[in-house]
């Protein structure tokens, strides 16, 4: 059985494409897509992230993540909420309020687990808040740009198993948000690393 360090190194050594493919294969709607559709979802979601990243740079130039949020008139709220067995989060985006909420208690725990698991030479723990904020900023782009690929009904579905229709694939937006965050923070590893560290350590605190 792999220890935490081996698990995190495995994620770090994976390509972005393979990480996003894993995300689709774990998704209840995405896992049953044909292989060619999975390729399309990944490539178009990544391109959407690149397009939004370039648009933000053209608009603001290189800035801190907080200044990007200010420029976009998105408020950031920092809260300290202890994770529970049934509800855990690092960041959230409230569309109605145009508000990003960052749970600094979860951020603190990820840093603590990274040190405990001897990961500080592998993982940039000082970029957690920025990365989570950047991830949620992508969801702001989804709010103001309904024509984005990640907002489209891109998979076949049936209502009551009978009526053919199209449905949204939520994991597409998460792939794009993760890729956008990696680009905006210039992170050397996938943001998924932070989620995995928390998943490995949370049984100690919940």
pLDDT in tens, 66-96: 999 999 999 999 999 998 887 889 999 999 9
Give pLDDT, residue 101. Answer: 98
The whole-number average pLDDT for the span 23-27 is 95
Q: How far apart are the first and last CA of the chain?
A: 23
pLDDT at 121 over 60: yes
| Nearest alpha-carbon partner for 41 in 198, 184, 171 | 171
Q: Which region holds residue 89: left if phi is over 0, alpha if psi is between -120 and 50, else beta?
A: beta
Q: Report pLDDT digits (tens) over 150-197.
A: 999 766 544 334 445 456 688 999 999 999 999 999 999 999 999 999
Output the pTM of the full model. Answer: 0.92
Q: What is the per-residue pLDDT for 169?
A: 85
The 10s digit of each residue's pLDDT in 32-60 is 889 999 999 999 999 999 999 999 999 99
| Residue 142 in this model has a pLDDT that exceeds 80 | yes
Instruction: Tell me which of 203 and 43 has the higher pLDDT.
Output: 43
The pLDDT score that the predictor gives to residue 145 is 96
Examine the pLDDT at 13 and tell me if it is beyond 80.
Answer: yes
* Domain ranges, ordered by start, for the chain: 4-200
Give the per-residue pLDDT at 167: 63
Rounded mean pLDDT, 93-110: 97
Tell which residue, 199, 139, 192, has the closest CA to residue 170: 139
* CB-based contact 197:113 (threshold 8 Å): yes
Q: How far apart are CA 5 and CA 20, in angstroms?
A: 21
**Residue of 190, 174, 199, 193 lying closest to 49 (CA atoms):** 174
Q: Is the pLDDT of residue 136 over 50?
A: yes
């Amino acid at each position: 059985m792999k220890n935490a360090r081996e698990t995190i190194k495995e994620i770090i050594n994976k390509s972005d494409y393979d990480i996003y493919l894993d995300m689709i294969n774990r998704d209840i709607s995405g896992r049953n897509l044909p292989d060619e559709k999975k390729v399309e979802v990944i490539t178009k979601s990544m391109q959407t992230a690149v397009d939004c990243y370039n648009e933000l740079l053209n608009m603001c130039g290189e800035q801190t993540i907080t200044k990007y949020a200010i420029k976009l008139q998105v408020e950031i709220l920092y809260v300290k909420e202890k994770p529970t067995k049934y509800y855990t989060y690092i960041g959230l985006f409230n569309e109605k309020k145009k508000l990003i909420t960052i749970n600094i208690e979860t951020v603190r725990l990820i840093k603590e687990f990274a040190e405990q698991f001897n990961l500080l030479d592998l993982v940039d723990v000082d970029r957690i808040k920025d990365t989570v904020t950047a991830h949620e900023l992508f969801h702001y782009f989804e709010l103001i740009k309904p024509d984005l690929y990640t907002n489209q009904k891109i998979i076949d579905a049936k209502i009551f198993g009978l009526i053919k229709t199209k449905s949204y694939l939520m994991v597409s937006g998460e792939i794009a948000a993760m890729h956008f965050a990696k680009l905006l923070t210039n992170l050397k590893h996938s943001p998924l690393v932070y989620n995995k560290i928390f998943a490995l350590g949370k049984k100690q605190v919940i």
